[in-house]
Structure 1
Amino acid sequence: MYMKKNRINQRQIKFLCLEDLVPDNHILRDIDRAIDFSFIYEEVKGLYSEIEWGKPGIDPVSLFKIVFIQYLFGIRSMRQTIKEIEVNMAYRWFIGYDIGETIPHFSTFGKNYARRFKDTDVFKRIFTQILAEAIRCGFVDASAGFIDGSQIKASANKKKATNEIVEKQAKQYQQQLDEEIAKDREAHGKKALKNDDDNTPNPPETKNIKKSTTDPESGLFHKGEHEKCFAYVANTACDRHNFILDFEVGAGNIHDSRMFDGLYGKLIRQFPEIQVIAVDAGYKTPWIMKQIIDSNRIPAVPYKRPMTKSGFFKKHEYVYDEYNDCILCPANQVLPYSTTNREGYQEFKSNPDYCKDCKFLNQCTQSKAQQKVVTRHVWESYMELAEDYRHTPMYREIYQMRSQTIERVFADAKERHGMRYTQLRGLQKVKMQVTLTFACMNFKKLATWKRRKGLLAPIFPGYLKEKSQIICSWFQFITKGTLRFA
């Protein structure tokens, strides 16, 4: 038999405090016990005025905890976050506000960002502090690093754009590559490339891009089956346990391999114990493989499908003879060295007199001159070494862990923490969003692991003793007859 609920009990007065309304197993309780957020006072020191005047300001810890709630629970905007805090007792308790206390206006953080936090590294320092706590507890296993990139859809209409001609950015390793090319040409008895011998700079190369009029700092992203859109990209590194170690944020039209250098440099400085770097096929380039191997680390990479037309010989079927410095084609003909071009590729060319009568000509080349040209990068030996590591069972297993590590990080960030898109505009604000999102993901995992290991701080020290004293005082007050209820 059902029972009709009497709602009159909702109007009765009960003696409760906010602490009683938060469940003991709530994630915010674990987070509050796992991390002492008082370090934020030191991080924002100097960003606030030392002179007391006007209306009292908001506690910086409470202000940042409001933002943490937004990114921790994937709430779409600060306006909605304030609405949620107003009715959620756990949220109120976490930011340190009482039941009847007025929650700050949703524009408060935006004003503080514009006046205090803009162009500072306070958000990155908070991220670093949380990661340092995870390292101190021994939760971070950086013996292997997993690197990948993910797009963040920008708040920009792809139809509102202009076509612009911009200069191509020079490769960060261009000087090293030029030196390697010069050595290779000299070793083969070739002259220096034009403009290299007289130190005359080459004219800058240009390209045509689409630039958003809504968010000019975003970039047009298009990859595979993805729809074209203006976006940002976050290149991220994590450890074996999915703790985010570091990241780089850039426009969506910047390739992952171009953002690798900055991220990798910071990563090995902070975590010199890294032995293996697992990356996907987008990072499998001669420069990146050289960079990893030269730093005495092992690249864990996948098989990269040859970009060859169907029905034609694959590149691996043309064998390089290191002793004679030539290429042997499938018809056992020799392709001697010809030159080394500006891109750093050695060119080996066949003899057209042999090729025109070859039975494999239609599987080899469609050149009108009936000449096959095979290229080999001056750093190709690093690619070959990376391919050898790929066949090693240990490194193959590490690469396969990407689906449980870095790919899981992006999945959680997008599905649970609102990083699939951004409502902010401008690179600096998007960096702030990514930093706070990854910081929240790290301290959420830190709190969970501390609870499992029994490392959480005691619940509200002194609270239980104080509560029992209050109850006893009220009991004595009532039993003496001082207080009577009708």
Structure 2
Amino acid sequence: MMGQRSSGQGRLFYAFDLDAHVPENHLLRGIDRCLDLSDLRTQLADHYSSTGRPSIDPELMIRMLIVGYSYGIRSERRLCEEVHLNLGYRWFCRLGLEDAVPDHSTFSKNRHGRFRESGIFRWVFDEVVRRCMAAGLVKAEGFAVDASIIAADANKQRSVPGTDRIDWSSPALSTRAVREYLEGLDGEALAEAMPKRLSLTDPQSSWTAALGGPAFFAYSTNYLIDTAHGVIMDVEATPAHRTAEVESTKAMVERVEARFAITPERLIGDMAYGNAPMLAWMVDEKEIEPHVPVWDKTQRQDGTLSSTDFQWDDDANEYRCPEGHSLRIERRPFKKARTHITKLNSIIYRSSQHDCQHCPRKMQCCPKTPIRKIARSIHEHARDVARRIRTTPEYARSRRLRKKVEMLFAHLKRILKVTRLRLRGLSGASDEFTLAATAQNLRRLAMLTHGPPSRRIATPA
């Protein structure tokens, strides 16, 4: 018999348990078990007035943002609509059926105000990392570092060549991102800043074509991860150019050391992190094994002898050519000692013209110059350490583990939908990257500790 829903008068009272309508295996249940915001109000106490009308609960806004970044809801207006409609989102945000959802404008006021001033997003990220450490997901044996480019909220139409003079006092340019840019520059630096193109809406972003396609304005998100379970130990926002990305690694490693008392045994990266100063910092200052390819352009492509064809004698502080002749810093003593260090932090070793003049290999060694010169970095010993590590089985394993950070970037862009920033300025990029990394760590922590039995790990007692 065909059933028919009764069209009579509706019930006056309903018994509705919101918790019963959220499945036990729901992702937000796992995240809720891993998230502890009990100290949030203490962290924000100095940024709220003790009098006046009560504000929106900051924990509610943080939980809503975590929902947005966990499920790729990039628009705050749409996030408010989804939390209003979705029972699971309401349950996670501690909202009842009749509780009102904050207006989307509330997020803008708090993000650019007390949230940014207090550094609360970084505090939440650090608390999640500590939870990952307590769950045994961080081994501190190996860290991997890499950067990924994210498009900024800027386009070419609102930009000028870097050589153009700009009237920054114009009312049309009095935006938050422009003020942040100008506050970070003094008069001399402002005059010297000559990028190829400069965005008038987000001048801290970089004009880049690093991905091989058309150039665009962008920032880089830099991840430092523990390779055991892919936990993001730190995240840093930088302009999209290689120098800033490499320097951010030092800041992240030192910040992890200061906040969590952890220094990795080895650091894994690609060739961008294999320059001589970076390797020296790892080997000499931090005593970290550099599992990084050496940035080396000494190999010649014209068939002549490269510097690797010369033998280095550390005791004599000289090179020996294949014919046995020496290449030295100086051929005669000077009354005043000289460092011989060039502006590029290298030392030039030169052969004797007398030796090269009658050498049978001269055309193979230095056909266009009377003598042979070899520039040796002052950090060459660190480069040699990296070269030795490259021949070990551990290095081959590190190459495979490095893919974990690349997988996190793929997850960031494809699942969390962070392909273009919504906030402007370096501080806006930092807020977005920190929240996205927090969501990724929470998802991983929830899956590995409260997910399916096959994927759970043993939690230390």
TM-score (norm 1): 0.76
Report the CA distance shift for 1:31/1:5 in structure 2 as closer, same or farther (over 3 A): farther
Q: 2:292 aligns with which of 288, 301, 319?
A: 301
Provide the residue aligned with 2:444 in structure 1.
Answer: 445
Q: Distance in 2 between matches of 1:17 and 1:138?
A: 35
Tell me, yes or no, if the aligned pair for 2:293 and 2:386 is still in contact at 8 Å: no
Q: How does 1:283-298 map to 2 (within 5 A)?
A: 283-294=273-284, 295-298=286-289
Q: Distance in 2 between matches of 1:393 and 1:103?
A: 55
**TM-align CA RMSD:** 3.3
Matched, 1:220 2:207: yes
- Is 379-388 or 415-424 further displaced after alignment? 415-424
Matched, 1:272 2:262: yes
Bigger-Rg structure (1/2): 1
Provide the residue aligned with 1:479 in structure 2.
Answer: none
Q: 1:102 aligns with which of 100, 108, 115?
A: 100
Q: Distance in 2 between matches of 1:280 and 1:305?
A: 13
Matched, 1:397 2:389: no
Cα deviation for residue 358 of structure 1 reads 6.4
Q: Distance in 1 between matches of 2:65 and 2:287?
A: 40
Q: Distance in 1 between matches of 2:378 and 2:10?
A: 81
Gaps of 5+ in 1: 167-204, 457-486
Q: Name the amino acid aligned to 2:290.
A: P
Q: How does 1:308-319 map to 2 (within 5 A)?
A: 308=299, 310-312=301-303, 313-319=305-311
Provide the residue aligned with 1:183 in structure 2.
Answer: none
Q: Distance in 1 between matches of 2:150 and 2:2?
A: 50
Alignment partner of 1:83: what SS?
Answer: helix
Alignment partner of 1:444: what SS?
Answer: helix
Give a deviation string over 1:85-144, Cα, whole Å, max 9, x none: 222221122112223433221111111223322322111111111111221222221121
Matched, 1:324 2:325: no
Provide the residue aligned with 1:411 in structure 2.
Answer: 410
Report the CA distance shift for 1:359/1:232 in structure 2 as closer, same or farther (over 3 A): farther
Cα deviation for residue 390 of structure 1 reads 1.7
Cα deviation for residue 257 of structure 1 reads 2.2
Cα deviation for residue 301 of structure 1 reads 1.6
Q: Name the amino acid aligned to 1:325.
A: N
Q: Name the amino acid aligned to 2:310.
A: Y
Matched, 1:246 2:230: no
Tell me, yes or no, if the aligned pair for 2:236 and 2:433 is still in contact at 8 Å: no
Cα deviation for residue 430 of structure 1 reads 1.0
Report the CA distance shift for 1:233/1:364 in structure 2 as closer, same or farther (over 3 A): farther
Q: Name the amino acid aligned to 2:100.
A: T
Alignment partner of 1:46: what SS?
Answer: helix
Q: Name the amino acid aligned to 1:289.
A: L
Q: Name the amino acid aligned to 1:110.
A: S
- Is 27-36 or 267-276 further displaced after alignment? 267-276
- Is 355-364 or 369-378 further displaced after alignment? 355-364
Provide the residue aligned with 1:233 in structure 2.
Answer: 220
Q: Name the amino acid aligned to 1:279.
A: G
Provide the residue aligned with 1:76 in structure 2.
Answer: 74
Cα deviation for residue 352 of structure 1 reads 5.7
Q: Name the amino acid aligned to 1:265.
A: E
Cα deviation for residue 346 of structure 1 reads 0.9
Q: Distance in 1 between matches of 2:28 and 2:399?
A: 34
Cα deviation for residue 415 of structure 1 reads 1.8
Tell me, yes or no, if the aligned pair for 1:248 and 1:259 is still in contact at 8 Å: yes
Q: How does 1:1-150 map to 2 (within 5 A)?
A: 15-53=15-53, 56-150=54-148
Matched, 1:385 2:385: yes
Cα deviation for residue 71 of structure 1 reads 0.8
Give a deviation string over 1:229-266, Cα, whole Å, max 9, x none: 21111222111211111122211135222323222222
Alignment partner of 1:346: what SS?
Answer: strand
Provide the residue aligned with 1:157 in structure 2.
Answer: 155
Q: Name the amino acid aligned to 1:415.
A: R
Alignment partner of 2:46: what SS?
Answer: coil
Q: Distance in 2 between matches of 1:392 and 1:21?
A: 54
- Is 141-150 or 310-319 further displaced after alignment? 310-319
Provide the residue aligned with 1:180 in structure 2.
Answer: none
Tell me, yes or no, if the aligned pair for 1:337 and 1:348 is still in contact at 8 Å: yes
Provide the residue aligned with 2:250 in structure 1.
Answer: 261
Gaps of 5+ in 2: 165-190, 331-339
Q: Distance in 1 between matches of 2:97 and 2:225?
A: 39
Alignment partner of 1:33: what SS?
Answer: helix
Tell me, yes or no, if the aligned pair for 2:208 and 2:215 is still in contact at 8 Å: yes
Report the CA distance shift for 1:322/1:231 in structure 2 as closer, same or farther (over 3 A): same
Report the CA distance shift for 1:105/1:207 in structure 2 as closer, same or farther (over 3 A): closer
Report the CA distance shift for 1:411/1:358 in structure 2 as closer, same or farther (over 3 A): farther
Tell me, yes or no, if the aligned pair for 1:165 and 1:206 is still in contact at 8 Å: no
Give a deviation string over 1:197-222, Cα, whole Å, max 9, x none: xxxxxxxx967413221201112234
Q: Distance in 2 between matches of 1:107 and 1:83?
A: 13
Tell me, yes or no, if the aligned pair for 1:302 and 1:399 is still in contact at 8 Å: no
Give a deviation string over 1:184-208, Cα, whole Å, max 9, x none: xxxxxxxxxxxxxxxxxxxxx9674
Cα deviation for residue 6 of structure 1 reads 7.0
- Is 154-163 or 427-436 further displaced after alignment? 154-163
Provide the residue aligned with 1:347 in structure 2.
Answer: 348
Q: Distance in 1 between matches of 2:373 and 2:213?
A: 34
Q: Distance in 2 between matches of 1:398 and 1:6?
A: 64
Q: Distance in 2 between matches of 1:372 and 1:12?
A: 96
Provide the residue aligned with 1:470 in structure 2.
Answer: none
TM-score (norm 2): 0.79
Provide the residue aligned with 2:435 in structure 1.
Answer: 436
Tell me, yes or no, if the aligned pair for 1:292 and 1:298 is still in contact at 8 Å: yes
Alignment partner of 1:447: what SS?
Answer: helix
Tell me, yes or no, if the aligned pair for 2:69 and 2:436 is still in contact at 8 Å: yes
